[in-house]
Structure 1
Amino acid sequence: MDLDFIDRLHTTRRQMKEVLAEIGFYEKDRYFVHPDTNFFLEFPSGPLAVGNEPVAVVEELRLDTGILRLLSPTDCIKDRLAAFYHWNDRQCLQQAVWVALERHVDWDEI
């Protein structure tokens, strides 16, 4: 239930806390939580990687509110499968299947 964001701008934790507080998030342990959602935010240190492998290509999704940079479908599946194998989390396996059914995937890379 967490959303991971890699801060590429080297924002301080204090700055992040102040900005997120403006939209109702507060810090709890290493996460930011909001009373109106079960999702919480995490800002792991970079660089962006799947396991020990740096992510070479970052996809972009253009929205009215700005650009959201994401893992490619292939890297997303690798990340979800790694979580499945590491924690035996079947929800992660289901997520990998959903992405595979909806997006083009480089199976040789996986």
Structure 2
Amino acid sequence: MKSIGSMTQGELAAYIDSNLRESGVNVVLSGGACVAIYSNHQYVSKDLDFIAQFSLDPKKIASVMKSLGFMPKGRYFYHPQTSYFVEFISGPPSVGRDPIQEIQVLKLETGTIRIISPTDCVKDRLAAFYHWGDRQALAQAVLVS
């Protein structure tokens, strides 16, 4: 097994997701990390945004993250061996008011990651552009499309 410090963003996400699932916590990766993964890292994101598929259990999440060496600070979890930080968001996963229907499953050396589809990733970025005028989100949508 790779050390956390040598894991790519996707590998770290798969490692965290797999450990959470073993403890009964079901999450889906979304946000900028999806853009980074789907654009072959043409976009750089330093965070991993996991959305709860059902209900969020902060105590169980904190326990799993602590067992992996992550420490909470505010709403994020940090690990001394990586610059990536992790956030957990209440679900269910959606783009605007529309629930996400398709979840991709990617198998990596470090585990399995559940991630929103490229289509939903683009829709999410376009929604950010439309609602907030976020031009960076538009550029991210183009990278994924």
1:43 alignment partner in structure 2 = 88
Instruction: Give the letter aligned to residue 65 of structure 2.
Output: L
Structure 2 gap ranges (5+) = 1-45
TM-score by length of 2: 0.58
Instruction: Evaluate the alpha carbon distance shift between residue 55 and residue 86 of structure 1 in structure 2; reply closer, same or farther with a 3 A threshold.
Output: same
Higher helix residue share: 2
Matching of residue 3 in structure 1 with residue 55 in structure 2: no
TM-score by length of 1: 0.73
Structure 1 gap ranges (5+) = 101-110
1:106 alignment partner in structure 2 = none
- How many positions carry a matched residue from both structures? 100
SS of the residue 2:48 aligns to: strand
2:132 alignment partner in structure 1 = 87
Quick one: distance in 1 between partners of 2:134 and 2:105? 28
Q: Pairwise mapping of residues 46-85 of structure 1 onto structure 2 (< 5 A)?
A: 46-85=91-130
Structure 1 or 2, whichever has the larger Rg, is 1
CA drift at 1:72: 1.2
Alpha-carbon RMSD across the aligned residues, in angstroms, is 2.2
Q: Which has the higher contact order (CA 8 A, sep 6+)?
A: 2
Identity %: 52
